[in-house]
Chain A
Amino acid sequence: MQIKTVFAGFGGQGVLMMGYSLAHAAMNEGLHVTYLPSYGAEVRGGTANCTVAVSDEEIASPVASQPDFIVAMNGPSLMAFQTRIAPGGAFFLNSSIVEGRPNRADVTVFEIPAAGIASELGSPRVQNVVMMGAYVKATRLVSADTYLKSLKSILGGRKKAAMDVNRKAFSAGYDSID
């Protein structure tokens, strides 16, 4: 098993954190993992993405030719990656923001109104964690339990209230898909 996921969106949507938290959880499940952020000019330009490879054996290339999963937090990310996604792969769309839909018939599409759900929770910033709830449920790459434990250790010293809202966001995302 070797799964590569690209997380993409505007800077400020917590895209790098999504990848980082997945990588962390995968490591804690004893899997091999690489996390590759975009950096520099791209970040300043307002878009960000990262690639996470998760595997049960040594990971050859951290670069993805054809990502299995794309998590698109905004419209441009869908456009940028719809030609590259692997046949049979899956798109996770932040459907409160992304208007378009992939032009590919050979991929699964999960629509998660992550930004909307996060606003309802009173914390627009946790839209990324809402998305991760859906992602973790659909991909089963890591267990929800491991993911939340990793999230907790990443948030570290921050207030308990912060973890509570993140936990809620995760559950809401998790329950948003079948």
Chain B
Amino acid sequence: MVSSLAEPLLALRNIRAGYGEAVVLDNISLELADRGSLAVLGRNGVGKSTLLLTIMGFTTLRRGNILWQGRDITALAPHRRARAGIGWVAQEREIFANLTVEENLTVAARPGRWDKRAIFELFPRIGERRANKGNQLSGGEQQMLAMARALMTNPALLLLDEPLEGLAPIIVEELAGALKRMIRDEGTAVILIEQHAGIALSLTEDAVLLERGAIVHRAKSADLMKDAATLDRYIGMKIKA
């Protein structure tokens, strides 16, 4: 397959979006190939979460359009986008507190490779806690469940909003391992927002840097990793290669 000629899985064209009257994102264009992976980096409040919310259809879109597998989904309701194959892991995890762990998974289930059995293999801790309520989980377990729940929809594209934020190093390692498996072995396309720029860039192929609602830099992740000056300028951090 010649990937450069193939239709992109997801394409944003000239997006302007925000909340009600407030415009947060402007002039955003990007493409993601099938099985592609993209890191989205940027400081706090630049609009990273808003970008994912816009792809899901939760923001006010003022301009531009969104194509999914070549089809215009600009006007499609969020639940239809999810059913079309876009999985979303929200920044705040948003586990259903009154549902059990198992119910959190079954409400999202759609046929495909990821079922409860496969999930419990990927995250054995989730399996152990299956009968617990969502609000009885630790932060790390919540994050695993949020990712597991999105996988239950058997997405072709997974949108991950800071999945490693605020977690203990050992959990970060476990989740990063699972992510790697998803991207490399399963071929799930991923858009990954992450404060741990080092991990994000090592997991992905491409990267964009966001500042004040606009894309200010595009690069291959491997190249950006070595470009300390750019990283320092836009996200104010140096990373160890």
Q: Do A and B bind each other?
A: no
Write the residues of chain A forming the contact surface with B, with a CB cutoff of 8 angstroms.
none
